[in-house]
Each structure stands twice: as C-alpha cells, then as structure tokens.
Structure 1
Amino acid sequence: MAGKLLCSIVFASSLAVIAGAAHAEHGAVFETTVFAPIHAGGTTVTLETVATGLTAPVKAVAAPGLPEWLFVVDQAGTLWALNLAAGAPVSCPSADCQVFLDVGPAGLGLIVPLGVVGPGTFDERGLLGLAFHPDYQSNGLFYTYTSEPASSLGPPTFPSTVPPVLPPGVVSPDHQNAVSEWEAVDPADPSAGVMPGRRVLMHVDWPQFNHNAGDVVFGPDDLLYISMGDGGGADDRDEQLFVQTGTGGMAAPIVGHGLDGNAQKLTNPLGKILRIDPDGSNSANGQYGIPPDNPFVGDPTALDEIFAYGLRNPFRFSFDSATDTLVAGDVGQNDLEEVNVVESGANHGWPIKEGTQSFNHNGNDEGYACNPDTGPFPCPVPMGDLVDPIAQYDTHEEGHAVVGGFVYRGEAIPQLAGRYVFGDFAREFGFPGPNETGRALYLQQKKLSKSGLLNVQEFNVQGQAELGMTVLGFGQDASGEVYYLGNLDGLPFGTEGLVLRLAPVSN
C-alpha cells in the first residue's frame, strides 16, 4: 500500500507539471509570483464557432495559394482541411472539413498510442506541428512534427541524452519526435490528399512523454524553425520520480537530463529552437541543410542547427507577418509563464531561471523560482547573458500553461492590430484532465519590446463569464484573422474539439 500511495502521489504531481505547469496545491515556497498578474477588463470580443467535431486541435494555418482554406492539426493524428468559404459552423468530417492526412491509428498509425496511463487520460504527444513550404503551390511540400514509438525510426539523428545503462525500472526513451516532409497530390485541391511515403528529416530521442514543444514554422527567410522542449520530466534534471507511460501510472527516476539540464547544453537539440533548410543536404544525415549564418555554425562544442536555447517547452511560436519578429510562449515549471521574443543565439535562461526570476532545482524535490535578494532561500544568482521574457504571468492564481499565438494582423478588430494574441491552457489541472477552463489573452502594448515587461490582458468574451474550453493552440488565416483552438476537457480523445474565430462584437 505504501508503494501504491507513493506512486499515486508522484503520478498526481507529475500530471500537474505535464503541460509544464503548476501543481494543484503548493507550499508557501511557491507563492512568490503574485507580482505577475493577468489584468482583467480587456477588449470585448466574441468567439465565433467555425468548426466542430475535432478531437484536440493544436494549430491551424493557411497554405500558400489556398486563402480560403485552413489546415487544422489535431493532436490525435488527423490533419484537417477546413473550407472557410463554406460558412460557419462546419462539422468535421464533412465535405467542407476533410481529412488531408491521418497519421493516427485509423490512418498510417505513425504516432504513439495516446493517454499517459491509457485511453481517456492526458498526454502531450501526438501530431503536434505543421508548416507548408513557401513554394507549396509548385512543389506541394509540407512538414509535420510527430511523436512516434522509440523503436520505429532507428538510431536518432542526434546522440541520445538517455544513458545506455538505465536504473532498475526505468523505461527511456519514451518516444522519438520526428520532423517529416510530405507531398500533396495536388497543391490546388486539398481533397486530393497526400502522396504515399514521407521523408524523415530528423528524429530525436525523448526521455519522458512531456515537454515535446512540437511547432514547425517557416520564417521570413524561407528556413524551417523547429521548437523542441527540454525532454520532459520536471526541473530539466535527473533523479526526481516521474510517471512513465505504459506502466499504469508507476513512477521511476528521471533520466536523460543530467544534473545541469538539457536546455543549457549546446550539444543536444532539447530545450532549443532549431533552424534548418529542408531544401539543403549538408547536415550530418544529409536530409536537410545547415544555414551558414546559424549562430553556432563552426563551433565544435555546439550543434550547427541551434538558433536559440534555454527554453523549457516552447509549444507554440509564430512570426509577426508585418515585422518578422519571432514570438514564442514558453511554458513555465511551477511559478511563471513566459512570452519571449526569440533572436539568433539568445539564451532564454531555463533552467537557470524561470521568467525573470532565478530558479532553484531544489535537489530531488520540486524546483522553485526565487529572487536572490528576497528569497525564498537558498536562491542561486543567475550567471551569463540571459534574455528575459517580454511578458510573464503567475502560474498559481492566473493560469497553468501558456499557449503561444499570433500577432493580430486582421481587419475585423482594428483595436487589436499589432497586438499579440495568445492564451492559457487551463487555470487549474486535475486528473484525468483540467478542471477549469482556459483563458483568452493578449499583450496590452503593441510594441514587442525586450526592455521591461508588457502587461498581460484578458479578453472580455461577450456573454461568457469564462472561456468554456481548454486552450490547446491557435490559428491564423491568410487574412491575418486569429482562431482559438481547444476542447472541453484538454484530453486527446473524443469529438468535442473546436475552432473558434476571434471576432468583433456585433452592434
């Protein structure tokens, strides 16, 4: 009984940091970040239902040459082609919401079985990212980020962080995350589907099931940017007990991070944003190119692919279509959620710091954010040239896990022009999923400045006291309008997934 109780406690604690976030209950040591609130009383908007019947939509983007379509990434494995010209709401599947690609169990069967302790439970793995090649109209190429069984793809592209000899009871790597290239049958016709086969650009051993990051985005330089989390577990550090998939919720010591974390190590891709050229071939595996102006090219102590580092779980990021600024939401550990402007070579500090605060990994116990002058103590003094976020908010009272969005460049809501729209997964996490709804947020100031923190504002959604769903991702169409994506329970199961368009209040 004692062992079962310990595992139950560890499992509950582990699930609470799954999307990177807060534990449901904290000791006083964690209650130090109330200085970072979310401000109420923001712009009043409505959320129009555009599509229903999905499972767990996490991203939606337009494809070059198809301005009336939105391609929706569903964590459960389906890539949907949604016809925006059909009129809302659209039910999926239907003639106006078709399966473009299915890598889930009903399709190609590439992704891992979802559910940390079985069907109906939380997970962060799956189909996570999508990017269309800038020349999609002519070449039909697009790219995905998927979580696949560790044994299915062979030796990883980069040396594994998982040690060759594991402690008793430890199963790692949990899976591999893969970036793959696909080709559409007809780039002008989503109903034509996808050609058989794919080209795997890279696949990476993942120590635990969580902190996968998973976004892929083409930048204004026509290069592919890839976000990777720190490999999972907690504190980006070995030794703590953490839940393992496929064991019924049993826990084992974390491995694959070392005692100084992955995010600060330039020898592996975990905790980084990578930048590659899918059209090139000068990488070590010959499957992609290394841009010559990547910040660590030629450094024998670093991976050439790294663009920025010191990140925990930059699940969603985007480029502002007007300014080319790269903005990422980075999920915090126990105390602070971050919005970051990411530039070449930048070190965003994790796990040396969390938000603007220092971070104490606290040995085998939960880590915490702290201030070297005011505590909690002990509190290390952060060293190095570390970049602070442009905005942050408290994990305890305000939210659970930041979900990055887009700078608004649409025309429907002029007062939002140039403001970053994003959200929070859920205010509180419970088992088997969140027990409160997410939050619809934006940055109050237009200028995404790196000097000083910007205010985080909550939308006033007309007719709703709360958002009414978990926030899983965001979309932006060819006109710059922004979409909230989510479902009712935060789990990658069922058919309650929604696509909601941010819209003005009708007169």
Structure 2
Amino acid sequence: MIKVKVSLRPIVGKLNLPTVLKTAILPGDSFESLFIATQVGEIFYIGNGSLRTFLDIRPRILKLGTSEPGVSGRGYDERGLIGLAFHPYFYYNGLFYLHYSVAGTQGPGALSERFKPNPCDPKTLNLRWINRETHYDHIDTVEEWFLRSNGQPQKRRTLLNLRRPFFNHNGVNSLNFSPETGKLVLTTGDGGSGYDPFNLSQNDMEIAGKIIEIDVGKNTFFNNPTVVTRFNELPVTIQETLTVIAKGVRNIPGISFQRVNNQYIKYVGNVGQDIVESIFSFVYYKPIPVTQLIQASLMKSEPDQEGFINFGWRGWEGAFPTSFIMGCSSNPTLDEKTIAYYNEAVQTSVKRLQPLTSYFQKDPRPDKFGGTALTGVQAYMGNGIPDLKGSVVFTDLARNEESQPPVRGVLAYTRVGTDSKLNDFSVINIDYNFGSQSAYYVSLGTNLDQTTLFLGVYGSMKATDFNKGTVFEIVPDSKQ
C-alpha cells in the first residue's frame, strides 16, 4: 500500500475528553461549524474561528471515574456523553439527539467480580443477567432536543432509557443518521465487562450489542419511557419505531456511510477483546422490525434473517474464534490460546459477516503496529490528501508496544477491495511533535461531505484528568 504522511493542525486545546467530532450548519448560517462533544457533558462549536458553548449538560451526567470492582478509583471510564447527532434537516427544524449516562443512576454492577469464561466450567459459559432492576451499573438515555429560535437548546422528548449491566461498552459516537433511510442509527455495545458474560450481543431480545434504527419521525407520546434492557419491555408505540440492522456487536465507535455511485457503503468498527480489532463493511442489508423479532420470540420461532448483519461476537472476534491468552509456564516467551466459546463459534461461523480488515493487538511485522482499541472509522472523499481519497481511515487509542511513555495513538487506512479477501492496511505517518505529553487518539470525525478529517487527542486515559484534550484537523504533510 502507498505510504501516506500527514500533518496535524491544532484547532482547539485544553478540552475535556472529545468523544464526538462532526459538523452541522446552524439555522441562519451559510457555513458548517465543527461541533465537539466531550465525555463530561459539554458541547462546543467552532464558527468563524471562535470556540463557543452550544450546550452544557454536565449536571445531567453521572460522576465519571468511579465504577465497579477492580476498576474503582482508576479514573478510566466509558460512560458520559457518548453520542451526538444532528437531524438531516437540522438547519430547518433545529432537531438534534444525545446519548448519555444519567446522573444519580449508579448501581452495584451486574456481577460482583471480574468475569472470565472457563471452557471447563459450563456455568461460566451460560450466565444469566438476573435481578436486573437492582444489579446494573447505570442508566443511559437517548434524547431528542431542539434549538429554539433564541438560540437556546431545549430537551423535547426521551426516545429510550436503557439499563446497562457494566460501566463499559456503551458505544461511542453512538448516534448517526443514515443518509439512506433518514433514520437515527444507535450503536449499542454489548454492555461491558469482558467476553460478554450474558451473551447479550447474540440474543435477539436484548437491546445491547445491536445496531438499531430509530424512526424519529414517529411521535411516541412518551415523555419519559420505562427503563428497559429488552425490546419486549418497551411500549408498543416505541417498538414500532425501531428496526434492528445488526447484532453480534462488542463495542462500536460509530457507523460511517460512504456514497459510491448510487449506493452507500457502511463501515463499522468492532473493538476487540484480546486479539484483534476489526472493521466491517456492507452495502446491502435487511433490517428486522423489532415487532417482528418480538413476535418470533413469542412463537419460539426463528425470524427470517436473510440479509440481516451479524458481526459474530461473542463467538468470534473479527476473523478469529474468541480466545483468551495465558502465559505458558513452561516457556515464558510463548502464549497459550484457548477458544473461549467453541460451540458458539461453530454456530455463527457461516452466519457472520467477515471483516473488511483487521489489525492485531500484538503484531511483530515491521510495517504494522500492535493496537489497543479501535476509536474511530471514517471514509475520506477529499482531494486534499490525494493518496487517501476513497479510503477508510481509522484510529487506535494507543500503540501497544513494549516501550516507555509517552504514549502515542495510531492513524491508519485501508481500501475496499473487490476480491473478497481480508484487506491490508497501512499506518499513516504523522508529522507532529506532541512533546513529552501522551497522545491517546480518542475520536475521529469528518465534515458533511467527508472531505476533511478531524482527530481528537487526549493526554491521559482518565476521565478525571481534565483539560488535556486537543482537536486537530488532519492536513497534507507540508514537507512533501
């Protein structure tokens, strides 16, 4: 693949964790503004070169940095404001949508200790999430807001209230509108912990681990819907607004749409467990109405899943059966890899979608890298960086190497092939000096026509370390 080199142009610094980067045209404006949503609950925008506050919902966000056993006190968190999307007609109707973790909803978590499956102990392979109303970590909400004529945002209604079992895998950049259907797309992670203890991602009734379309054009008449975890717990009027595009999701940093001729290629990244990070692509799909899933469940029958997308988790981690890795006591230089869910890997082997590309958490090849967690996937259609035009650009949180700090994230790209093979990828070299500060790549965004890329960088892994964020525009290398 072509070796690409780019530079970074700082746009704004000293931000809190920038989780969503996207542009929109404000009512009355003639230009796009860059909107930056931070995990702690601030939304800023940059118009005419100045940074302004669009909305501050920090009092609505639960306190970040405290969580379940084994994690409490670390400061790392995956909750907070994790989704922002603007209605396709935002310029005219002022509608936008938020996904965040609600203040005051902390619970003890679904399990009292960290989970790891044991193929020799069937009990660990068939856990059930019981006592859900008391054994959960927090509640997420998806809301519709509108921009009033005086420029002040106001909440309009709540679309969903979701009870989550653990603090992590809630999705990030989790709200995006489909240019094909005009519907709001919600990407939900599998609920967290590790290895999806309750196999929520493959269960058709569970909201966790899915890609869901919401028809926001339908008025559900519910100001504050019941807090749920399963589709069949929702009021019928809300069920009727929902279709499911995909299941088998572990955790997704959003969905990206690339227009090619008269169709859209969809790109989805699935964050890995221990082995590999994967990016999937698909054009054709057949969503299943939630009412149809519920009917099939009641009849104890299998719904027609022809054209329905399944990413394969938890039986598969990208192109590999889900495995856990242990050190070999007889030879410390080697690892022992054990398939965690053999039967599930067999059952979903032909039903699942193969990845477009994958990269490993450990990779000795000199032109590749070991990754930590996929944090963004975006199509690039601009002419500014010619070697990237038509490519799929992605970011990883931190290069996984046996080196000393400071930490650096990774920017890379791949292309859609026509030979059905797993595609190669290439690291994008960045000409920028971060100095002695760590630089975790936490988010990736584009403008409306995908001709400009934005990168969110943070100087710490902790949500409790404030004002360490910078947003950059990815620009051509000035030295080329």
- The bucket for the TM-score relative to the shorter chain is 0.7 to 0.9
| CA separation of 1:461 and 1:110: change in aligned 2, threshold 3 A | same
**Which of 4, 9, 31 does residue 48 from structure 1 map onto?**
9
Aligned to 1:25: none
Deviates more, 1:381-390 or 1:138-147: 381-390
Matched, 1:320 2:286: no
Q: More relative contact order in 1 or in 2 (CA 8 Å, sep 6+)? A: 1
**1:478 Cα deviation (Å)?**
3.4
**1:110 Cα deviation (Å)?**
1.1
**1:377 Cα deviation (Å)?**
6.0
Write out per-residue CA displacement over residues 449-482 of structure 1, whole angstroms, 9 at most, x where no aligned residue: 5822111211111255999511111121235201
**1:138 Cα deviation (Å)?**
1.4
Aligned to 1:82: 46
**1:354 Cα deviation (Å)?**
0.6
| CA separation of 1:120 and 1:71: change in aligned 2, threshold 3 A | farther
**1:286 Cα deviation (Å)?**
10
| 2:167 alignment partner AA | F
**1:347 Cα deviation (Å)?**
0.8
| CA separation of 1:48 and 1:352: change in aligned 2, threshold 3 A | same
Aligned to 1:224: 184
Aligned to 2:425: 456
**Which of 193, 196, 206 does residue 233 from structure 1 map onto?**
193
**1:281 Cα deviation (Å)?**
3.6
**Which of 482, 492, 498 does residue 453 from structure 2 map onto?**
482
Aligned to 2:469: 497
Matched, 1:336 2:336: no
Correspondence 1:350-365 to 2 at 5 A: 350-360=313-323
| 1:421 alignment partner AA | V
**1:172 Cα deviation (Å)?**
2.8
| 2:318 alignment partner AA | G
| CA separation of 1:401 and 1:302: change in aligned 2, threshold 3 A | farther
Aligned to 2:413: 442
| CA separation of 1:375 and 1:233: change in aligned 2, threshold 3 A | closer
Correspondence 1:206-217 to 2 at 5 A: 206-214=164-172, 215-217=174-176
2:189·2:250 contact (CA, 8 Å) conserved in 1?
yes
| CA separation of 1:116 and 1:455: change in aligned 2, threshold 3 A | farther
**1:200 Cα deviation (Å)?**
0.8
Aligned to 1:203: 161
Cα distance in 1 for partners of 2:93, 2:60 equals 24
1:266·1:303 contact (CA, 8 Å) conserved in 2?
no
**Which of 214, 225, 246 does residue 276 from structure 1 map onto?**
214
| 2:9 alignment partner AA | E
Write out per-residue CA displacement over residues 238-279 of structure 1, whole angstroms, 9 at most, x where no aligned residue: xxxxxxxxxxxxxxxxxxx2xxx0000000111110011111
Cα distance in 1 for partners of 2:417, 2:269 equals 13
**1:43 Cα deviation (Å)?**
0.1
Correspondence 1:237-252 to 2 at 5 A: 237=197
**Which of 51, 54, 59 does residue 20 from structure 2 map onto?**
59
**Which of 63, 66, 72 does residue 113 from structure 1 map onto?**
63
Cα distance in 2 for partners of 1:137, 1:149 equals 30
Cα distance in 1 for partners of 2:476, 2:63 equals 40
**Which of 391, 411, 428 does residue 419 from structure 1 map onto?**
391
| CA separation of 1:407 and 1:391: change in aligned 2, threshold 3 A | same
| 2:387 alignment partner AA | Q
Residue aligned with 2:217, SS: coil
Aligned to 1:472: 442
2:101·2:138 contact (CA, 8 Å) conserved in 1?
yes
2:46·2:52 contact (CA, 8 Å) conserved in 1?
yes
Correspondence 1:296-307 to 2 at 5 A: 305-307=243-245
| CA separation of 1:201 and 1:150: change in aligned 2, threshold 3 A | farther
Cα distance in 2 for partners of 1:483, 1:354 equals 28
Residue aligned with 2:387, SS: helix
| CA separation of 1:182 and 1:217: change in aligned 2, threshold 3 A | same
Write out per-residue CA displacement over residues 378-398 of structure 1, whole angstroms, 9 at most, x where no aligned residue: 855522311111111111341
| CA separation of 1:463 and 1:404: change in aligned 2, threshold 3 A | closer
| CA separation of 1:119 and 1:165: change in aligned 2, threshold 3 A | closer
Cα distance in 1 for partners of 2:224, 2:157 equals 12
Cα distance in 2 for partners of 1:184, 1:165 equals 36
| CA separation of 1:302 and 1:357: change in aligned 2, threshold 3 A | farther
Equivalent pairs, count: 390
| CA separation of 1:449 and 1:496: change in aligned 2, threshold 3 A | farther
Write out per-residue CA displacement over residues 43-71 of structure 1, whole angstroms, 9 at most, x where no aligned residue: 01111111112111011111145533111
| CA separation of 1:399 and 1:360: change in aligned 2, threshold 3 A | closer
Cα distance in 2 for partners of 1:392, 1:77 equals 32
- Gaps of at least 5 residues in structure 2 are 107-127, 226-235, 287-307, 328-335, 364-369
**Identical aligned residues as a percent:** 27
Residue aligned with 1:137, SS: helix
Aligned to 2:289: none
**1:101 Cα deviation (Å)?**
0.8
Aligned to 2:293: none
**1:317 Cα deviation (Å)?**
2.1
Cα distance in 1 for partners of 2:265, 2:222 equals 29
Aligned to 1:97: 51
Superposed CA RMSD in Å reads 3.4
Deviates more, 1:275-284 or 1:68-77: 275-284
Cα distance in 1 for partners of 2:310, 2:222 equals 24
Cα distance in 1 for partners of 2:247, 2:452 equals 30
**1:329 Cα deviation (Å)?**
1.2
Write out per-residue CA displacement over residues 1-30 of structure 1, whole angstroms, 9 at most, x where no aligned residue: xxxxxxxxxxxxxxxxxxxxxxxxxxxxxx
1:273·1:306 contact (CA, 8 Å) conserved in 2?
yes
TM-score (norm. length: structure 1): 0.70
